[in-house]
Amino acid sequence: MDIVVCVKTNPDPQMVRIKDREPVIEAVPFKLGDLDKNALETAIQVRDAAGGKVVALTVAETNRKIKETIKDALAMGADEAVIVDDPAAATLDQAGVATVIAAAVKKLPACDLLLFGEGSSDNYTGQVPSRVAEKLGVPQVGYARKVEAAGDAVRCERSMDEMIETLELPLPAAVTVVSEINEPRIPSLMHIMKAGSKPTQVWSLADIGLDAGALAPKQEVLSNLAEEQDRKHIVFEGTVAEQAEAFVNALVKEGVVGR
């Protein structure tokens, strides 16, 4: 089964600090998205069971940092990497990214299964997978906690509120995975060394038949700050028991506890 895993590289979110309500990303190292690693691990396991090839695909402004980071995917076990170079990648909206991915997938010789994390580590919109599936006209399942090859199909499991749903999709198909699906492997030194000699292709937008102008974002992000809330400054008086009672009632009223 030929699998394409779409990955995004971000500044390591654990290293990003917030200063004056702005993220400080200077000197923060880049990393593959955490959920993207779950998707990669899934792809590697499916390939190892069913045969085939894993291609890691990313859309980014190509520089050394991106090439280094994409090597992590090769070290984990992807067979090849493709970087679609878009100098304006950082300003693309979800529709733009999906357009680029869909065009790149079409250019690949084969793609039976497209895997994604359920969201990216930075913006986490979770939109790109569905958009790509729609553009390619393939069925899609989101939030899988198990993915296996099943002949000409892929079988996925996902947790619904009170049941586990098992779905089978004819190939080609797109699937997003949740973090519980697996524990992504940490590549060994030998695998890291070998990753350097695995093929990494860099495609331009023109290579996949796209024009940068057509990708201009259709939405403008005005602000992405979390809402700031004033404290309520409620002081409970009375005996300890009365205070506790009033406190719990207030929490219930706020919807913090109980139903």
Partner 1 sequence: MEKVECIVVGGGLAGLSAAYGLAGAGAEVMVLERGDYAGAKNVTGGRLYVSPIRGFYPELWEEAPFERPVARELITMMGDGAHTTFELASDHLVAGPPQSYTVVRARLDQWLAEKVGEKGGMVVPGMKVDELLRKDGRIVGIRAGEDEIGADVVVVAEGVLRLLAEPAGLAARPDEKDHALGYKEVIELPAGVIEDRWNLNPGEGAAQLFLGTVTDGMMGGGFLYTNKESISLGVVVGMHAMKADGREIESHQLLERFKELPQIKPLVAGGTVAEYSAHAIPEGGIAKVPRLYGDGYVLAGDAAGLSLNALVTVRGMDFAIASGYHAAQAMLRAKAAGDFSAAGLASYEAALRDSFVLKDLETARAYPQFMEVPRLFRQYPTAVSRLFEDVFTVGPGPTPPLVKKAWRGVKRDFLRPSTLQDAWLARKL
Q: Which is nearer to partner 1, 11 or 142 (CB)?
A: 11
Q: Which is nearer to partner 1, 75 or 169 (CB)?
A: 75
Count of residues near partner 1 by CB under 8 A: 15
Residue with tokens 């895993």: 5
**Min CB(7)–partner 1 separation in Å:** 17
SS3 98: helix
Q: Which is nearer to partner 1, 75 or 100 (CB)?
A: 75
Tell me the C-alpha to C-alpha distance, in Å, between residue 137 and each of 130, 131, 154, 171, 220: 10, 10, 16, 11, 27
What phi and psi values does residue 144 have, to the nearest 5 degrees?
-75, 140
Is residue 90 involved in binding partner 1 (CB under 8 A)?
Answer: no
Is residue 188 involved in binding partner 1 (CB under 8 A)?
Answer: yes
CA distance 46 to 54: 9
**Min CB(35)–partner 1 separation in Å:** 19
Q: Are 118 and 35 in contact (CB under 8 A)?
A: yes
Give the number of residues written for the chain: 259
Task: Enumerate residues 208-227 that contact partner 1 by CB under 8 A.
Answer: none
Q: Are 3 and 53 in contact (CB under 8 A)?
A: yes
CA distance 33 to 37: 6
Is residue 192 involved in binding partner 1 (CB under 8 A)?
Answer: yes
Q: Which is nearer to partner 1, 197 or 239 (CB)?
A: 197
Q: Which is nearer to partner 1, 192 or 246 (CB)?
A: 192
Task: Enumerate residues 7-26 that contact partner 1 by CB under 8 A.
Answer: 12, 15, 17, 19
CA distance 158 to 181: 10
**Min CB(72)–partner 1 separation in Å:** 9
**Contact pick of 189, 214, 222, 235 for partner 1 (by CB under 8 A):** 189
Give the single-character DSSP code of 118: S
Helical residues (DSSP H) of the chain, grouped into ranges? 34-50, 64-76, 94-107, 128-136, 189-195, 240-254
**Contact pick of 21, 64, 218, 233 for partner 1 (by CB under 8 A):** 64
Judged by the rule CB under 8 A, the positions of this chain that interact with partner 1 are: 12, 15, 17, 19, 27, 29, 64, 68, 186, 188-190, 192-193, 196
